[in-house]
């Protein structure tokens, strides 16, 4: 579907749409199929393909939609997508021509502020194609940044992530004392990550509690 016959509807897009997902995030294995495939994949999905730090060099704006907003029972939920910026380490530039990949931590800081102030998000979920920590690290990019984000940026209630293939379910404490639940269901559909988010309002005050399991 990706490399042999690109003239038929994309099978992955058909399956994802059938499953009824609210959002997707672009991954490095999507990028390796080349523009003709992931552009079509994105257009055929029934919900947005996110990638806030995949920047178009012509416009200097995100090439993919950076985030999506969902309303559930009056609760405004923001889902923010990020891709590991280590793409140039693995893939030839012909596959991502016209892009550059911003640092996940810096990009997340900017978008969290936007989601809180402009979108008035009650709950913020990070959907990251990046591992927890370690991996490839150079002067230009860091492969795995979930731990860095959770420890340094407050205001994210939940990060659902993948890429390093390691199952993980743990709250990470930020420098300001708040916590972010980080969930990774491993790989190859061995597990499913399940998070329950409870929002309690008392006038202007709001309390968000997140519990997760694999």
pLDDT along the chain (214 residues), means of 10: 78 93 96 92 96 98 98 94 97 96 97 96 97 94 97 97 96 95 94 94 84 93
pLDDT of residue 202: 82
pLDDT of residue 204: 73
Question: What's the token pair of residue 63?
Answer: 């090439």
pLDDT of residue 35: 92
Number of other CB atoms surrounding residue 65 within 10 Å: 16
Burial class (CB in 10 A: 0-12, 13-18, 19+), 81: buried
pLDDT of residue 22: 96
pLDDT of residue 196: 96
Question: CB within 8 A of 198, min separation 6: which ones?
Answer: 208, 209, 210
Distance CA 23, CA 47 (A): 5
Residue 35 is inside which H or E element, if any? helix 35-44
Dihedral angle of Cα 25, 154, 109, 160, to the nearest 10 degrees: -10
Beta 24-25 vs 49-50: how paired, if at all?
A: parallel
pTM of the predicted protein model: 0.95
Name which of 79, 82, 111, 85 is nearest 99 in CA terms.
Answer: 85
N- to C-terminal Cα separation, the chain: 30
Write b or e for each residue in 23-44: b if 16 or more Cβ atoms lie within 10 A of its Cβ, otherwise e: bbbbbbebbbbbeebbebbbeb
Burial class (CB in 10 A: 0-12, 13-18, 19+), 213: exposed
pLDDT of residue 213: 94
């Amino acid at each position: 579907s990706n490399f042999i016959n690109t003239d038929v509807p994309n099978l992955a897009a058909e399956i994802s749409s059938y499953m009824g997902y609210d959002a997707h995030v672009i991954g490095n294995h999507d990028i390796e199929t080349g523009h003709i495939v992931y552009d079509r994949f994105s257009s055929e999905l029934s919900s947005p393909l996110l990638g806030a730090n995949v920047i178009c060099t012509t416009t200097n704006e995100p090439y993919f939609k950076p985030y999506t907003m969902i309303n559930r029972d009056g609760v405004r939920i923001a889902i923010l997508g990020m891709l590991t910026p280590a793409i140039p380490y693995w893939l030839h530039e012909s596959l991502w021509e016209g892009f550059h990949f911003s640092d996940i931590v810096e990009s997340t800081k900017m978008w969290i502020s936007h989601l809180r102030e402009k979108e008035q998000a009650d709950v913020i979920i990070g959907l990251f194609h990046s591992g927890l920590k370690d991996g490839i690290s150079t002067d230009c990019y860091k492969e795995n940044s979930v731990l860095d984000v959770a420890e340094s940026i407050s205001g994210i209630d939940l990060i659902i992530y993948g890429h390093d293939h390691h199952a993980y379910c743990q709250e990470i404490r930020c420098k300001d004392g708040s916590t972010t639940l980080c969930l990774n269901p491993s790989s190859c559909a061995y597990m499913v990550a399940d998070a329950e988010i409870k929002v309690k309002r008392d006038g202007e005050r709001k309390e968000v509690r997140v519990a997760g399991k694999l």
